[in-house]
Structure 1
Amino acid sequence: MLTNNNKKQSMDPIYSEFLPENFDQQNAIASVNNLPFSEQISKIAAGIEQLKNNINQLTTKNCETFFRRASKLDELYNDLRFIGIKSQNLMKTMELMIMKFESPYQQLNHEIILLSRLQKTCDLLRKMLRIMYLMERIDESNMNNDMTKNESGIFLKEIIKLSQYVNEIDGIIQSDEENLLHKLNCISKDLEKFQQIKSKIIIEADSLLRNGLESLDNNNIGAALQIYHNLRSLDSIVNDLIVEKCRLIEQSLSKLFDDMNMNEMKLTIPSSTRQNNLMKTSIRSNCKCNLENLYIHFHQISTMIKILKKRRDNQTQTLLIEFIDNRDELIRKFWNEIIRIFSASFNKLFHWSPAIKRLIESDYSKILSFFLDYSERIIVDEPEIENEITLRSTIGQFENAYLSNSLSSLFESVNRIFTNVGVIKNQKIDSIPSEKDVDLVIKDISNEIVASNFDSMLLESVCRNIVKTINLFVFKCEQLVSNDGDATQVIGKFTINQRHNSLIIYSLNYFHKQLKNLIINNDKNQSILKKHLIETSSSLKSIDNLILNTFEPFIKSIQDAIEDIILTIHNEKYDINSKIMPSNCSLYMKELQRFIARISRDYFQQYPNDAEIIKERIHQMAAFVIDFFLLQNCLIRPVSAMGRQKIFNDFTQLEEAIIPICDRLGDVGRSFQILKAFKTLLLLSPEELCDAPIVGDPIPYYLVIYFFIANHTTDELKSPHKFKDWSISRYSQWFMAENRNDEERLSIIRNSLNEYIIQAKKSQKKQYFATYHLLSSLMKKTNVE
């Protein structure tokens, strides 16, 4: 330890340079050199003196410790010398032991080497003997015998047996890692002969496989595969064969492409129809040839794979297919490669040969039939690929082009028959297609259906084109429809615009009828045509919709006129007290009969009588006339007994009035049933009326209640239209609205009856009108039902 004085000196910058653990000699010298020379000497001398003092202090203070440790050094030296003697003794003992073990080890090692050499020699002799034995068996074979070759079954058995011998010899040779067998003179000739036999067997196997695939002889193919398996080359042979088949298919398609390019050069010269037909025939022939080539190769590979799945290894009884890599995907990969080759070839043809492209598009349906035929045959051979990419997809671009051309052709046939659209009104009739024009469109549509009838998928696409064509025809007709004022008049003669619209309906109806005949006459794919042309809204229904929309304004005008005529019923007198029988027909009924007869004669006969949509609409109008007539008869007030007799006669006359527009009144439907049933209620007493079984069904309650109020109650109970403070015309429009329900019609009666009761109570009447209980009973029945 340093004293205080020493510590002070240690703080001197000169000495501090000597104290750090990372002492730097250069820095210390530099700090000393900065002082004058005399001071340098004094500083160094003082430092040396100080060190001496420190050493003396440390030595004096630790003297006992130094002596104690020095005495132990002698003890340590004695122990070290003893250990050295022991180590020398151990080394001598170890040398003696090594000498004792060395001799047995050398002897044992010699014996091991000798045994190993004997084992190799025995193994070599065993392999040699086995090779000699197998070669004798090979020599004894009858493979080279002509009679054996003539006997196919015997020959195949013999060559398979030879391949097994060759396989065993080959295995023995491969196990000879040091290549010692080839150094044995006694079997050198056998080994040379073995190589020759092996080559010969491979040649025979190649021949068997080639001939077997060409003739589809399962025995030859199976024998060849068994030989390849025995020669340990089955996997490579199968995969190489698939690659070779793909190459042949691609080569054949390339030739097709080259031939078509040559044909395209000929087509650059202006060609006749005959030359185009010859070119089409050539293209068909080339496509069919390539498809046949594809089918042959695919069928061969498929047959080979099926045999691999049946044949077994003779020793392990394992199926041969198990020795093939990617065995589960073998046929799929082959098929996908075929699809790739065909797609690439036809894609190239589509983009690089415009003339050939046009010919294929125009003849696409026949070319597609070849593709579908061969696809079906291929799937029959190998159902496993049914869900894979189809062969027809390889010519998908041609199909799209064919459909596009088909649509253009159909549109052109429609546009061609619509000429002079938008001319002077008096000449509009000339622009409406005639039946001959429609027949031309139908013929084009029929040709498209016939051309695609062999394939449901193609027909589906063609049907979509036909639907678009129908929509175009409907659109063109819709543009011709006249909306002028005289197109809906019902007072004078049939106008030019009405004649014009009726001719449009004739055209549409004839088009509709011919399309339906086209569907009916197509027995093969009738369901597909019905699905697209009948069931969808944008098909034949669009024709019906346009017919109806064209006819609707006119028939609505007729319906309005009939309403006006029937409303004049309220100008008639029905509170007749005379006992004289009224005339057979009311004035309004006579006018109605004359009007309907004139409409039927002068107007409805101008429309096609076989148009179902027109008939249906006329029947709807007839139903409306009956319903409107029933309502007005139930609103007549006051009515006497003779007045009801007059109404009864009007009911009979209405049936005769409707006959000109509806030959069979039963076609009118429920409205006519109600008319017939209601007629039987007219002359009944109030009690009989309420108890009649036909009230409620078929006759609605609201009609019976309206009639009861008008005929068998007091004037204080307001009629529905008077309760609403409406005119009869306005109330009739409200009542006849399509969205009006029975409850709404009855609610007015309830409110009117409640008002009557309130007024009766205010006037302190002792009793209600005489038939109140009957009316109340009818109202209660409506709540129950």
Structure 2
Amino acid sequence: MPSPALSQQRSSIPSSPLQRLSTFIEKSSNTFPSTPSSSSTPRPNSTTSSSSPLDAFSSDAIFSAFLSPDFDSARFSSQALSSGSAAARAEKLEEGIRLLEKQLRSEVLSRHDDLLAQLTSIKDAESALSVVRSGISTLQSSVRRVRQEIADPHRQIKVKTVQLSNIHETVELLQFTIRVLRLSKKLRDLMVVAGSELEKLDLSKAAQLHREIQNLCEKNSLSGISVVDEELVWLTEAGNCLRGEAMKVLERGMEGLNQAEVGSGLQVFYNIGELKPTVEGLLNKYKSQGVKSVTSALDMKAISSSGSNFGGGGPGGIQRSGTPQIGGGGKAKEALWQRMNNCMDQIHSTVVAVWHLQRVLSKKRDPFSHVLLLDEIMQEGDPMLTDRVFEALVKSFASQMKSVFTTSSFVKEIFTVGYPKLYTMIENLLERISRDTDVKGVLPAISTDGKNQMVAAIDLFQTNFLALCLSRLSDLVNNVFPVSSRGSVPSKDQISRIILRVQEEIEAVKLDGRLTLLVLREIGKVLLLLAERAEYQISTGPDARQVTSPATPSQLKNFTLCQHLQEIHTRLSSSLLGLPAVASDVLSPSLGAIYGVACDSVTSLFQAMLDRLEACLFKIHDQNFGAHGMDAAMDNNASPYMEELQKCVLHFRSEFLLRLLPSSASISTNSETICTRLVRRMASRVLIFFIRHAALVRPLSESGKLRMARDMAELELAVGQNLFPVEQLGAPYRALRAFRPVIFLETHQLGASPLLQDLPPSVILHHLYSRGPEELQSPVQRNKLTPVQYSLWMDSQGEDQIWKGVKATLDDYATKIRARGDKEFSPVYPLMLRLGSLLTKDSQSKS
């Protein structure tokens, strides 16, 4: 069992005798330094470090635990009891205790002299300490005596200081009181001089005196002095009088937009020290007036009541969803618009008045401190006064508009149908405000964002208006072009109604560019719908393309559709002439779609007619233009192919073109319809096609030239009388007129003839083949093509490619001549080389 001494000493001293011993040794070595005699003379009973019990304990398994700083006696006892050898361990511990006590005695004996020396030092310290105590007591006695001698003068000085401070404060109060009484007398004298005519009072000076008196009283706490309190009562009354007069001047100046009066009123409130709250109060007042006017304008109960007063018929009232009673709709509508006008006027006057106030604040400076009045009521980054007021008005206006849109079907219908009028009101309001506040060097009353917000407040009605516009026009188109009936063709009156309806929609909004563009976009959607429905009505198939028989019902139907769509395109294009170019740009795609469908309805017919005429002209190659003799020259009859072409042209004219081309009475000569454009194109193609194949004729005798010239005259007459005036065809007609004399020129005259400028290079080159030898093969002969195949190839190629084909035949001809050994070429060969290079070069430069 462990020793009782070990367990009782756990909390206050080291937890084991070994630890106590080591601690004692360390302390003794620090507390009792060895004397020279002890350090130099070894003692016989002192142990060396190697024989110290601590060294033996540190290597012992049991005693080493007692040297640990975290030794726990309870844990050690528990381990000893659980080991089964508790008695043996307790005996060992007793032995260790005896060994330690023996070692302790040995240490005390070995350091006996040192301990005695330390006792002597303690006695000396106690003697010195008694001397110090005596000195301290003497010092305390002296301090008490000095304190008693100083306390009475200090007390007297403190009392005198308080007395002087009170006298000084009393003098200051007397001075400030006298100052207040003098300023008050000045203010009284100033107001007494004005008497009952307060408008003659110098409000600015009076306000300055009032503010100075008030500041003296507040800063120096003069309240409580009877004479000052009496003056303060009168000062309060005077201040109220000054504020009232200043507010009258300020409001009068704002109503009349008089800068001098507004500046005077503001100066008074600045001198009083109430500039910012006064301006804030004015802003709130104008905000309230504006918001009230907006609310009143859209008060359906008041509108219905006022509407009933325009002319008898019983009391007004609201039935359901803001709808006036039966019979009162017209008067309520007039009342609504009148109230909206009044509302716009009130908003205008409110914004302009606030802008005028802001303008004066931004220019007016205090004459003494030179402080800008606007800086007194605004900090950097704060919104301008006009922005604050206008934002509140716009917010209220937008809220009221949204409210009546959802709650009053009557107002919703009026503002939707009359949206252009409502939008014009807003635009006029914004324009008036901008115009009336447009002063150089001064910010305008409303910004671009503010204008956009005001316009956006009625976006709900704009959306409904555009939807209503689209619905009206779409319903009209659906009635004229029903989906279920493909065979029916609308009448001219129905088409006119569509055009008139579209023109009315444009006319209703043309005064406003932005709204016009929005409406035109909706009209564009309707025109695309109309084009789609009309395209669905177009007849296709063989009946629509036949050109040999009289016009079929399918063709007549297509003619009617073409004319209807042409009229829509022409009249709506004319309606856009007075509008800005951007309006035409908006509607151009839709009008282009209408125009495209109109073209599609007759394009296949015109292509079929042109194919038939080209087929007739192909037969020129079946004629013998190489015959000689007077019989061929004197024959006055046209060639068979030309007679067939004339019959076809007459047939086309009587059966198709007369139904498609407008009469001179219905359309001006300067305008060009779809059909006139197609006829012009067909006539030009016939002339060019004839010249192309006439140039390919080979051989061509003198008699053949006469017959060809006669065919040209017949062609010119047939085209000019039945298709299109040839004089108006331009280049194709000039080419036809030039080709006739060219075929009669001598070969050596061709190179310098000015007629070549009016002919395509390919025509000249192909014609020269008819003047050359048989060895000089044409591209048709060289490539073994038919005239039809070669003509199709020429349609897909340019003049440069055609010249390459001609050049290849010229090279072949040159090779044959050189191979034969001949030294001379046909006169046509060098002429074709020279003309080919020159004409193609000129043609490329023109293109």
Same-fold status (TM-score > 0.5): yes
**Aligned equivalents of 1:46, 1:6: Cα separation in 2:** 14
1:140 partner SS: helix
Equivalences for 1:308-707 in 2 at 5 Å? 308-326=361-379, 328-382=383-437, 383-390=444-451, 391-418=454-481, 422=485, 428=487, 431-520=488-577, 523=578, 525=579, 527=581, 529-533=583-587, 536-539=588-591, 541-580=592-631, 581-584=633-636, 585-609=638-662, 610=667, 611-695=672-756, 697-707=757-767
| 2:51 alignment counterpart | 3
Residues 435 and 510 of structure 1 are in contact (CA less than 8 Å); yes or no, is this contact kept in structure 2?
no
Deviation at 1:140, TM superposition (A): 0.3
Deviation at 1:680, TM superposition (A): 2.8
**Aligned equivalents of 2:138, 2:799: Cα separation in 1:** 132
| 1:22 alignment counterpart | 70
TM-score after normalising by structure 1: 0.87
Distance 1:290 1:278, change over 3 A: same
**Aligned equivalents of 1:103, 1:491: Cα separation in 2:** 147
Q: 2:243 aligns with which of 198, 202, 213?
A: 202
Residues 267 and 355 of structure 1 are in contact (CA less than 8 Å); yes or no, is this contact kept in structure 2?
no
Deviation at 1:405, TM superposition (A): 0.4
Residues 803 and 840 of structure 2 are in contact (CA less than 8 Å); yes or no, is this contact kept in structure 1?
no
**Aligned equivalents of 1:712, 1:75: Cα separation in 2:** 160
Which amino acid in structure 2 is aligned with residue 707 of structure 1? H
Distance 1:538 1:294, change over 3 A: same
TM-score after normalising by structure 2: 0.81
Q: Does 2:207 match 1:163?
A: yes
**Aligned equivalents of 2:731, 2:168: Cα separation in 1:** 112
**Aligned equivalents of 1:323, 1:359: Cα separation in 2:** 47
Deviation at 1:360, TM superposition (A): 2.2
| 2:14 alignment counterpart | none
**Aligned equivalents of 1:221, 1:648: Cα separation in 2:** 96
Residues 203 and 242 of structure 2 are in contact (CA less than 8 Å); yes or no, is this contact kept in structure 1?
yes
**Aligned equivalents of 2:152, 2:635: Cα separation in 1:** 158
Residues 212 and 220 of structure 1 are in contact (CA less than 8 Å); yes or no, is this contact kept in structure 2?
yes
Distance 1:750 1:49, change over 3 A: same
**Aligned equivalents of 2:520, 2:58: Cα separation in 1:** 113
Which amino acid in structure 2 is aligned with residue 684 of structure 1? L
Q: 1:47 aligns with which of 83, 92, 96?
A: 96
| 1:223 alignment counterpart | 264
| 1:708 alignment counterpart | 768
**Aligned equivalents of 1:363, 1:267: Cα separation in 2:** 21
**Aligned equivalents of 1:133, 1:286: Cα separation in 2:** 57
Q: Deviations along 1:232-256, whole A, 9 cap, x unmatched?
A: 2222222233233333333443444
Deviation at 1:135, TM superposition (A): 0.5
Distance 1:385 1:3, change over 3 A: same
1:183 partner SS: coil
CA RMSD of aligned residues (A): 3.5
Distance 1:104 1:557, change over 3 A: farther
Equivalences for 1:149-160 in 2 at 5 Å? 149=198, 152=199, 154-155=200-201, 158-160=202-204
Distance 1:679 1:28, change over 3 A: same
1:619 partner SS: helix
Which amino acid in structure 1 is aligned with residue 465 of structure 2? Y
Residues 432 and 504 of structure 1 are in contact (CA less than 8 Å); yes or no, is this contact kept in structure 2?
yes
Unaligned runs of 5+ in 1: none
Which amino acid in structure 2 is aligned with residue 698 of structure 1? D
| 2:7 alignment counterpart | none
Residues 14 and 32 of structure 1 are in contact (CA less than 8 Å); yes or no, is this contact kept in structure 2?
no
Which amino acid in structure 2 is aligned with residue 460 of structure 1? L
Q: Does 2:833 match 1:776?
A: yes
1:575 partner SS: coil
Which amino acid in structure 2 is aligned with residue 340 of structure 1? K
**Aligned equivalents of 1:364, 1:630: Cα separation in 2:** 63
Residues 799 and 840 of structure 2 are in contact (CA less than 8 Å); yes or no, is this contact kept in structure 1?
no
Deviation at 1:557, TM superposition (A): 0.8
**Aligned equivalents of 2:149, 2:779: Cα separation in 1:** 141
Deviation at 1:771, TM superposition (A): 3.0
1:433 partner SS: coil
Deviation at 1:566, TM superposition (A): 0.6
**Aligned equivalents of 2:156, 2:838: Cα separation in 1:** 129
Deviation at 1:750, TM superposition (A): 1.8
**Aligned equivalents of 1:101, 1:700: Cα separation in 2:** 136
Distance 1:492 1:38, change over 3 A: closer
Residues 506 and 608 of structure 1 are in contact (CA less than 8 Å); yes or no, is this contact kept in structure 2?
no
Which stretch of structure 1 is more off in the superposition, 718-727 or 93-102? Answer: 93-102
**Aligned equivalents of 1:414, 1:201: Cα separation in 2:** 73
Q: Does 2:225 match 1:184?
A: yes
Larger Rg belongs to: 2
Residues 254 and 353 of structure 2 are in contact (CA less than 8 Å); yes or no, is this contact kept in structure 1?
yes
**Aligned equivalents of 2:699, 2:526: Cα separation in 1:** 60
Tell me the number of residue pairs that the alignment of Structure 1 and Structure 2 aligns: 761
Distance 1:558 1:351, change over 3 A: same
Q: Deviations along 1:461-491, whole A, 9 cap, x unmatched?
A: 1122222232233323222221131222221
**Aligned equivalents of 1:273, 1:365: Cα separation in 2:** 26
Residues 575 and 640 of structure 1 are in contact (CA less than 8 Å); yes or no, is this contact kept in structure 2?
yes
Which amino acid in structure 1 is aligned with residue 268 of structure 2? I
Equivalences for 1:28-177 in 2 at 5 Å? 42-43=91-92, 45-59=94-108, 113=162, 116-142=165-191, 145=194, 148-149=197-198, 152=199, 154-155=200-201, 158-176=202-220
